């Protein structure tokens, strides 16, 4: 499928609470705004239909899980059809009894499900106890040819791994989407907050440069309380970077729809002048599959 030269993307940056109906109503308003803004691709943040329940290991949180034909994906298909736009949405997938994934779906403008990606890299850090909930993805890194371009999807913790971005770009991805849920532990914000947010932005800009493609990072916002008085302040700041790593648009730390126009023709121009794919030493990289070489 031939890509259009220019495409408008919408990043839905929002809060999420414990009322799933209110979460969907909030998102529906954002979808409407994105559609009115002429978006051809609309992407949600990670796990947009629920609070970020991974702050603790709680068996009751599995109630947020749904099958791929459940209400959240049905909602996304309806929004895609209504907006006549490609939709990328993240949800907590119940694949089978006792088997769960952190999954993103890709839906075309007719509301048809094109496929899904299951998060490959699963963190296990204070406040981000995802290994308790999610089985690592088994669908590999994927790209979907759509009417709005060739799209690759990765999820949050995946954004720190150059291998994931590279393998997706090598399949022809013109745009890498990263639905995310990342924020500060409030007690660290003053001392480490600026460096953490800058590192998050820098690593994803580097994927855009190294692979000569666009990167779209969609983060959530708002303070969500955790156990024992702990909390996460999701910093928002969703952004779009072009193949030279330039930030085309960046959101605030508040709920909003961020729109950006991508000139997909820029990809070839940049790759001609920065021919990283041409000069890769594919004969010399076999050891990259090792855990450690020291």
**H-state helical runs in the chain:** 20-36, 71-83, 162-169, 186-211, 266-273
With H, G, I as helix, E, B as strand and everything else as coil, classify residue 120: coil
Whether residue 22 lies in the annotated active site: no
Whether residue 54 lies in the annotated active site: no
User: Which is catalytic among the residues 43, 54, 66, 119?
Assistant: 119
Mind listing the pLDDT tens digit for each residue in 38-92?
999 999 999 999 999 999 999 999 999 999 999 999 999 999 999 999 999 999 9
Q: How confident is the model at residue 247 (pLDDT cuts 50, 70, 90)?
A: very high
Mind listing the pLDDT tens digit for each residue in 5-33?
999 999 999 999 999 999 999 999 999 99
Q: Is residue 2 pLDDT above 80, yes or no?
A: no
User: Which is catalytic among the residues 43, 46, 130, 213?
Assistant: 46
User: Which is catalytic among the residues 43, 93, 130, 156?
Assistant: 156
Whether residue 46 lies in the annotated active site: yes
Distances (CA, A) of 282 to 212, 279, 285: 18, 9, 6
Average pLDDT, the chain: 97
- pLDDT score at 97: 97
- Work out the percent of the chain whose per-residue pLDDT is above 70: 100
Superfamily of domain 6-289: Carbon-nitrogen hydrolase (3.60.110.10)
202 burial class (0-12, 13-18, 19+ CB within 10 angstroms)?
A: exposed
Alpha-carbon gap, residue 138 to 140, rounded angstroms: 6
With H, G, I as helix, E, B as strand and everything else as coil, classify residue 131: helix
Q: Is residue 200 pLDDT above 80, yes or no?
A: yes
Q: How confident is the model at residue 99 (pLDDT cuts 50, 70, 90)?
A: very high
- pLDDT score at 4: 78
Query: Where exactly are the structural domains of the chain?
Result: 6-289
- pLDDT score at 74: 98
Mind listing the pLDDT tens digit for each residue in 209-237?
999 999 999 999 999 999 988 999 999 99
- pLDDT score at 90: 97
């Amino acid at each position: 499928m031939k890509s259009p030269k220019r495409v408008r993307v919408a990043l839905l940056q929002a809060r999420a609470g414990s009322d799933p109906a209110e979460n969907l109503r909030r998102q529906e308003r954002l979808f409407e705004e994105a559609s009115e803004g002429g978006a051809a691709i609309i992407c949600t943040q990670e796990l947009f239909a629920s609070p970020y329940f991974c702050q603790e290991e709680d068996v009751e949180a599995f109630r947020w899980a749904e099958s791929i034909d459940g209400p959240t994906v049905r909602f996304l298909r309806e929004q895609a059809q209504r907006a006549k736009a490609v939709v990328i949405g993240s949800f907590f997938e119940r694949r089978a009894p006792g088997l769960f994934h952190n999954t993103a779906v890709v839906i075309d403008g007719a509301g048809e499900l094109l496929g899904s990606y299951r998060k490959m890299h699963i963190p296990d850090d204070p406040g981000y106890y995802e290994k308790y909930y999610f089985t690592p993805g088994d669908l590999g890194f994927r790209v979907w040819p759509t009417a709005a371009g060739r799209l690759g999807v990765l999820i949050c913790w995946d954004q720190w791994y150059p291998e994931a971005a590279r393998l997706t770009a090598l399949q022809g991805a013109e745009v890498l989407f990263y639905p995310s849920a990342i924020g500060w532990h409030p007690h660290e914000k003053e001392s480490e907050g600026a460096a953490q947010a800058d590192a998050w932005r820098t690593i994803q800009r580097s994927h855009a440069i190294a692979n000569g493609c666009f990167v779209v990072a969609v983060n959530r916002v708002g303070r969500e309380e955790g156990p024992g008085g702990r909390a996460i302040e999701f910093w928002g700041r969703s952004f779009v970077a072009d193949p030279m790593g330039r930030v085309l648009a960046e959101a605030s730390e508040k709920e909003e729809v961020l729109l950006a126009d991508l000139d997909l023709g820029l990809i070839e121009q940049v790759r001609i002048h920065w021919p990283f794919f041409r000069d890769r030493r594919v004969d010399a990289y076999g050891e990259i599959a090792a855990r450690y070489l020291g």
